[in-house]
Amino acid sequence: MLFSKILTSRSVTSCHVISNISRTLQHQTSTRKSTETYPTQNQKPKFDSIHFEESVKPYAEDVTLENQYEKLSNMILPLASFSYDEQLKIKQDMIEQSFDQIGRAILWDKRIDSQVLKYVEFQQGPFCHVEPIIPSPLIEHYRSKDDLSCGFGVDGQKTVGFYISPLNNKAFPNTLCIPPTHLKSMKPKHILVTKHFDQFLKQHPLSVSENTNVIKKDQYWRTMTLKSNVHDHLMMIVVVHPQSLSKNEIDQMKKDLVNYFIDGSGRECEVNSIYFQLCTQNRFTSEENPFELIHGDAFIYEVYNDKKFRISPESFLQVNQKGAEVIYRSTLDHAQIDENTILLDIGSGIGVNSILASSIAKKVYAIDPLTMCIEDGKFNAKLNGCQDNIEWICGFAEVHLHRILKKIGDLHGNNTRIVAIINPSRYSLTNNIISALRGLSSIQQILYVLCKTDKQIMHNFYELAAGERSKLKQIGGPLIPTNIYPVDLLPHTTHTEFIVKCIRV
């Protein structure tokens, strides 16, 4: 039988980190000691992304004026030297190896539910089945969002781009900032704005940050974020550290930006919106540090699957619009939503999944911790003429989920079919959330939208598939990953977006 074959076969891992993570999690999640040994790891992975990226990763000591763009490309787009067909093959192998390891690790957990073993035993193939990867509709110039940092280049001049850190901080204390103007993933308009912002910084009297995580005295310009849509409407968000500047001096910084990009040589960029944000912390939100619109439109608008969505400065925006349409369409297709389905959209962002599903589903609950995202979602629902069946909830799922599930039971009965779409990259799952999801039998499946398989994600899979921890705590039937649907959103990188379908067994 398949289960016995899995347990006796030797394991294949995508990289050493996956092996270490799975072993650590087994130790953490097992409820009894065992003398059994984890399957030996004697087969090399087809493609080891960790070692590969380490081999091409540049350090500041190695960067010169002549090779800076090549070094940056190696760091940001490590697969750029491969043909696109080769890139897809590499990514397919990586995903298959990762989920093969995840599946084996789940089965090896001593808390595995007996229902999971029965399910796997009668399958004809691995229960973590990876479908063929869907190529990105765009291979170059696909990024609709770029987060750039201000710093000092190889020549010591102020610039904007991506940091390359030194290998030895004591021997080489400087973090270099390399302009991204040669990256094939960036849109031409983003490159144009970046070149002009570089010129703006060079002529401006105030200094830039050497590193956004370590702000020193008299360093002001920190980051620039660019967002654009399919029509090349562009929003620019500039973050500065106020240091000890007076209000008049800060107002002058805003005027300098507007004068350059609207009335000066930067006007050829045709920037639609310029936002300005003062921030003294490393991590910042609009509640703590409000965005100030200093020129142009408050929003830009993007189209996903024939629906129009408002994009604000803090809105989550997929970096590949065409690829995102594939993800959204595929997620809803595999969710199998109908007029009797209630959708939980956990980490809803600007509400794309909620709005696309609202015309089909019986009811939608959209949950997101960011106030601006919920406001965007409500606006987008009205913009697209959605029926009044979406409830927007601002907050964390662990705070609201039990109340929502009780409300669903009271209004619709405990036999109502519920599907949850979860985006852990925006919304990490706690054990309380997982217990709530498992505790309601009407939740028959979960759709994860992931871009990585890290320790936290693997731990989520363990908790979803684990058996009861004790006879005193009923946590409901297990949910296990059965199908993985990968989509390439980031050509030339080792990253892939994928949908993981978890079903209750």
End-to-end CA distance of the chain: 18
Q: Is 365 helix (H, G, I), strand (E, B) or coil?
A: strand
192-231 burial, b if ≥16 CB within 10 A, otherwise e? bbbebbbbbbeebebbbbbbbeebeeebbbbbbbbbbbee
Question: Does residue 318 have a known ligand-binding role?
Answer: yes
What span, in angstroms and rounded, lies between the C-alpha atoms of 354 and 490? 24
CB 462 within 8 A of CB 106: yes
Unique residue bearing structure tokens 């189209």: 303
Active site residue: 150, 279, 451, 502, which one? 451
CB 460 within 8 A of CB 438: no
Reference 241, options 216, 204, 259, 260; nearest CA is: 216
CB 358 within 8 A of CB 389: yes
Amino acid (one-letter) located at 422: I
* Cβ contacts of 154 within 8 Å, gap of 6 or more: 63, 64, 65, 68, 176, 178
What span, in angstroms and rounded, lies between the C-alpha atoms of 484 and 420? 16
Question: Does residue 147 have a known ligand-binding role?
Answer: no
Question: Does residue 368 have a known ligand-binding role?
Answer: yes
- In the residue annotation, 451 being an active-site residue is answered as yes
CB 98 within 8 A of CB 104: no
CB 220 within 8 A of CB 245: yes
Binding positions for S-adenosyl-L-methionine: 318, 368, 423
Active site residues: 451
